Structure 1
């Protein structure tokens, strides 16, 4: 060691760890999209695809106004056009290898082109032949083909090609058939033979692939089916063995046509999880109808984004850009506040028109069976999930380090400073963490396990504000006497 004479400085690593914030409201949506309209349809099948903009979503997944066939398009429209929130993670299960039918047409050429007026044509399967089927023509040599604005392929004859003198063509192609997608496709699974995940099973691939923790899971158009809803709820817990989030489900407004029927449907179908937000009926903008799960999830993500991605604010009573609530057949539903409160009291979120349309409801599907604030209120449940996910992401770097006091103190100090920061901003009532000797016997420490206890208080929504009015004759008397003088 060199001879030292003077004043010296040394630095130790900072014991306060900057937190990595789990993006609290990122939606993961499972369903169908018109991938035949994309450049590479096979690249958009059973894979988590993240979109930060309308263009990115359309480029990667396609877009169609036929929302009944392609439910992911409804979610694109709501999030990117109506609400303005991103990102959204889409999982398309419509597969050209499984969900197709064969098509064939014979058409005359008109002014050098013809339009195949069949939805879902897969361009890479298109075979263009002479009328008798003997001669096959070559793309980009004899003709070009592209989709028009309506999503129909237009075949254009090239002047220098072999089709220049042809008047009629025989066309053969495969067509994507979204009606072939069933509940089993949405639920998905893992195919051991080809080592591939599909459907809801891909939720566990979101973080490994994209580095984003799911915030809300939904499948509008399918979540009113009990088999799908059960899997959605199961996939909301212990994602990748660690993370938790909430899900958004629908009550079937085709069978539940009155608000009075909704609670019994919810209970009979076991839509009663503390991780579920359940909505009824649907909403509309003009002629377009949206599942309530789409609406709730998008508005929740937007509310988070307006509040620093801290999910402490309830989406209830936030304005909705809609002009009505409807049943599945389009019949309008008009709920007054008392009727909407009846739904809220049974753990169902809805929409009402008071000073404009608003989302209405703070309770998870577990209410009224539970009154525990962390399981009853949507905002508090989401704060707990977000806080836990953030803790995991922040301190994962500490796993396998020596179980010494430096490690313990760094976690305790960092978390208490973090909690104080959120408290100072009014986002939580408070949080504190402790390392207690009684929770950490030497046998646990020898086995590599250390345990903290952290207490968190999030604010419940002020959903019942009461002003007691009382007539005061003294005020009247003073007014009259004062006026007489």
Structure 2
């Protein structure tokens, strides 16, 4: 020890930590995008974080052709309908893999020629004035751009009545369930599809809360992988998957439950919706609007996920099946779907509302943390926050100081959540019986967390009784 003489002060680290709060309901959307319309075509199997429609459009492109480009549906719902951010997008449409070469003869009218094909990759476009003539030079012999419908517009700077064009176009119809499921490239180790869920936190510092794949989630294999990946993100974190019932098969509400059970859409972290939702000419998958309804509801309640999305507004004017037939549901029919663990929409009081609190695990499961959507979301969020907050203590010396630091921090956090109404109560304990000496010597310590989240007031019974004693008021 060095020799000291005098008075001095040293600083010790604060024993009470600040909780690192996990993102309550961060949506991660997997699908296809018209990247030929983007500023660059590089965003293939990459994480794109967008805080606005313009950001998403610049990175991924946009078109109203949602049947082929499913991420555009999510962009529209997130930023135009519900106005929530951030949203994470993963495009699996690869122009090197999902493409098709083609030719066209395009007439020149009003000094411009408009190609019929969509999805044309401009860097592959070849323009000629005749089939056997020399290729024209861009910006010298013609200029090219996209119109609002995503079609190529060629303006010749030379005399021409028609143009012969060759090109490679995106072929979104070639994207399969396997592309959404993805995996790891054997040669490069690059992650693809749903495997990229594990790259979200290391890359962005945000934990996925909701996993969505419009259109593709009605494929049982895709839904099964979504459910599995969401339950164990980066080994430690938890998320929920949002899936759709196939309305081509379950075209009426009485078929929805049979389809759900036959295809095993019964996960405790799986939220299942039926049918399709229409707004004017646009058609949304239920999972798309449910995802951003959940995100917006959390944002409206302090970024806490304890409030149910049920009985909250959806952006729609009608319900549809895959054939385009309009669907009408009354409260009793919607209640039947809810009793089967299926969320739907109801236009009964105050316009169109999300209707249903139950996860796919209901009614087979009776565990409260597994059958209510807001309880499941809050449970996931609390678990993720515990990991984030206590991770900094890993590899610290096993001491009373470390134990008290975790106990004090997390108990104060629970008290704060209780005062805000996020939970009914919560506590953390360090129990002797759960921490034998052999484990402590081996560097293992255990904390027991106890928490109770509020369940949604799903059934309010008001008992009305005739009271004849009030006839005495006639004599007052």
TM-score for the superposition, normalised by structure 2: 0.96
Residues 239-267 of structure 1: per-residue CA shift (max 9 Å, x gap)? 11111111111111111122222112111
**2:29 pairs with 1:34:** no
Q: What is the distance in 1 between the residues matched to 2:332 and 2:114?
A: 54
Would the alpha carbon gap of residues 130 and 393 (structure 1) be closer, same or farther in structure 2, given more than 3 Å must change?
Answer: same
Q: What is the distance in 2 between the residues matched to 1:166 and 1:336?
A: 61
Pick one of 307, 313, 318 that aligns with 1:319: 313
**2:220 pairs with 1:226:** yes
Would the alpha carbon gap of residues 362 and 108 (structure 1) be closer, same or farther in structure 2, given more than 3 Å must change?
Answer: closer
**2:5 pairs with 1:3:** yes
* Contact map agreement 1:229 1:249 (CA 8 A) in 2: yes
**2:272 pairs with 1:278:** yes
In the alignment, which residue of structure 2 is the partner of 1:161? none
TM-score for the superposition, normalised by structure 1: 0.94
**2:428 pairs with 1:433:** yes
Q: What is the distance in 2 between the residues matched to 1:194 and 1:221?
A: 29
**2:397 pairs with 1:398:** no
Would the alpha carbon gap of residues 448 and 464 (structure 1) be closer, same or farther in structure 2, given more than 3 Å must change?
Answer: same
Give every structure 1 segment of 4 or more consecutive aligned residues whose post-TM-superposition deviation is greater than 6 Å.
none
* Contact map agreement 2:253 2:337 (CA 8 A) in 1: yes
Instruction: Give 1:191-230 correspondences, 5 Å limit.
Output: 191-230=185-224
Q: What is the distance in 1 between the residues matched to 2:20 and 2:199?
A: 20
**2:23 pairs with 1:23:** yes
Instruction: Give 1:232-271 correspondences, 5 Å limit.
Output: 232-271=226-265
Would the alpha carbon gap of residues 11 and 476 (structure 1) be closer, same or farther in structure 2, given more than 3 Å must change?
Answer: farther
**2:53 pairs with 1:54:** yes
Would the alpha carbon gap of residues 412 and 32 (structure 1) be closer, same or farther in structure 2, given more than 3 Å must change?
Answer: same
Q: CA deviation at 1:457?
A: 0.7
Q: Please state whether the residue corresponding to 1:118 is helix, strand or coil.
A: strand
* Contact map agreement 1:29 1:90 (CA 8 A) in 2: yes
Could you tell which deviates more after superposition, 107-116 or 356-365? 107-116
Q: What is the distance in 1 between the residues matched to 2:43 and 2:416?
A: 41
**2:170 pairs with 1:176:** yes
In the alignment, which residue of structure 1 is the partner of 2:408? 413
Could you tell which deviates more after superposition, 434-443 or 297-306? 434-443
In the alignment, which residue of structure 1 is the partner of 2:106? 107
Q: What is the distance in 2 between the residues matched to 1:33 and 1:307?
A: 32
Give RMSD over aligned pairs. 1.5
* Contact map agreement 1:106 1:131 (CA 8 A) in 2: no
In the alignment, which residue of structure 1 is the partner of 2:97? 98
In the alignment, which residue of structure 2 is the partner of 1:366? 361
Instruction: Give 1:132-211 correspondences, 5 Å limit.
Output: 132-158=131-157, 164-211=158-205
Pick one of 362, 365, 388 that aligns with 2:383: 388
Residues 202-242 of structure 1: per-residue CA shift (max 9 Å, x gap)? 11111111211110011110111111111111111111111
Could you tell which deviates more after superposition, 408-417 or 252-261? 252-261
Gaps of 5+ in 2: none
Q: CA deviation at 1:141?
A: 3.1
* Contact map agreement 1:427 1:458 (CA 8 A) in 2: yes
Could you tell which deviates more after superposition, 377-386 or 443-452? 443-452
Q: Please state whether the residue corresponding to 2:228 is helix, strand or coil.
A: helix
* Contact map agreement 1:133 1:170 (CA 8 A) in 2: no
In the alignment, which residue of structure 2 is the partner of 1:125? 124
Pick one of 444, 458, 471 that aligns with 1:463: 458
Q: Please state whether the residue corresponding to 2:135 is helix, strand or coil.
A: coil
Q: What is the distance in 1 between the residues matched to 2:458 and 2:28?
A: 29
Residues 318-358 of structure 1: per-residue CA shift (max 9 Å, x gap)? 11221111111221111111111111111110110122111
Q: CA deviation at 1:461?
A: 0.5
